[in-house]
Amino acid sequence: MSAELSSKHRVLMTFAHQEADRVPVDYSANPGIDARLKEHFGLAGNDDEGLRQALGVDFRSVRARYGGPRLHEDIPERGVHVDIWGIHRRKVGHGTGYYWDYCDFPLRHATEEEVAEWPMPSPDDYDYSQVAEACARHSPYAVGVGGAGLGDIINSNGFLRGMEQTLVDLITDDPAGLLLARRRTAINVEIVRRTLEAAQGGVDFLQMGEDLGTQIAPTISLDLYRKHLRPFHQEIVDLAKSFDLPVMIHCCGSSSWAFEDFIEMGINAVDTLQPEAANMAPAHLKKTFGGRLAFHGCISTGGPLAFGTVDDVVCDCRQTLAIMMPGGGYCFSPTHAIQDNSPTENVLAMYAAAREWGRY
């Protein structure tokens, strides 16, 4: 295909398993490498749009901003930031930057009654008035709503209950943990519903998420997924379908064991696709699910991009493109946020490889 398509058309064709002019490209990065890339291109530190244009990124996102009351207080003497959901985070530095480390887990020992009373944001306190304008501004691109945290039970409950207790909740049908999942999901679904209504047709896809695997195996059983998580996920998929939108799910680790369920549910694309995780090699995914699921990811942030040479990065990207491109259905993207220990030249080589070798 010789004609240059719009980013919006390119992504929607790819989600529909059609070969476009080139593979769509996406971007996510931690603050350190993000700042270095902006410096490389001569951009201001807050020029996120300029960087996406420089890298040839086809995706944009919109969201309603919270404008309600402060629901939880920070703990400055311990350096703990507490968000509107009551999740506690501390900034922890390392050799190339920092992470926000989840801590305290204030609902770890909470009863069902305490979870019911825990302050959470109201959908009424979000500002939806700017959504349509943001969609119009990004109209040449594929505009998404939601994100990796929409529908995510294991991680997001874990931020408040702790990971161990969250998994115990699922296994034992703990009423407090299940109520927490229901409350959070209901609020987020309503926020997204109102955002889609305010967008007036300007959104192109919905993104949701659930991390289901470790590097070597599933985190939970398929039976447990179907019992507790799939109903929440189906509610979000059904919302997207009521607006005639494709759905992409972010799913870390060894997660292909759930992909047949995703297909049954109406999910169109899967994000992350860590190639080093069990049963997640690009060739396996393409052979097993190609034509039924679109793929977004596969360029490992823990592989050559961080630890290899420029030549290693180019080789890895070319091999992935050669496997995933035929027949359409592949979006070129890092598996997670690009890490701060990734050399700038490697990241630049990654996106250059997409431009050079990602054309049909």
Q: What is the pLDDT of residues 300-325, one digit of tens each?
A: 999 999 999 999 999 999 999 999 99
Q: Three-state SS across 158-179?
A: HHHHCHHHHHHHHHHCCHHHHH
Tell me which residue has tokens 């039924």: 292
Average pLDDT value for residue range 290-303: 98
- By the 8 A CB rule, do 149 and 156 touch? yes
Given a cut of 90, whether residue 298 has pLDDT beyond it is yes
Q: Which residues of 76-112 are buried (b: 16+ CB within 10 A; e: fewer)?
A: eeeebebeebbbbbbeeeeeeeeeeebbbbbbeebee
Q: Is the pLDDT of residue 337 over 80?
A: yes
Whether residue 147 is predicted with pLDDT greater than 80 in this model: the reply is yes
Give me the percent of the chain exceeding a pLDDT of 70.
99
Q: Residue 56 and residue 49: Cα distance in Å, rounded?
A: 11
Q: Which residues contact 263 (CB under 8 A, 6 or more apart)?
A: 289, 292, 293
pLDDT of residue 178: 98
Q: Mind listing the pLDDT tens digit for each residue in 234-243?
A: 999 999 999 9
Mean pLDDT of the chain: 97
Within the chain, how many helices (H) and strands (E) appear? 15, 12
CA distance 89 to 74: 9
Rg (C-alpha) for the chain, rounded Å, is 20
- Of 312, 293, 303, 287, give the one whose Cα is nearest residue 336: 303
C-alpha closest to that of 128 among 49, 190, 51, 186: 190
DSSP state, 213? B
Alpha helices by DSSP H, 221-343 = 222-224, 230-242, 259-265, 282-289, 304-307, 310-324
Mean pLDDT, range 247-263, rounded to an integer: 98
Domains of the chain by start residue, with CATH = 7-68+114-357 (3.20.20.210)
Tens-place pLDDT, residues 77-130: 999 999 999 999 999 999 899 999 999 999 999 999 999 999 999 999 999 999
Is the pLDDT assigned to residue 215 strictly greater than 80? Answer: yes
Q: How far apart are CA 182 and CA 175, in angstroms?
A: 10
**pLDDT surpassing 70 at residue 1:** no
Flag whether pLDDT at 141 surpasses 90.
Answer: yes
What's the pLDDT score for residue 3?
Answer: 78
Rounded to two decimals, the pTM is 0.97
Query: What's residue 2's pLDDT?
Result: 53
User: Computed from CA positions of residues 275, 279, 283, 289, in that sequence, does the dihedral angle turn out positive or negative?
Assistant: negative
Quick one: DSSP state of residue 72?
A: S
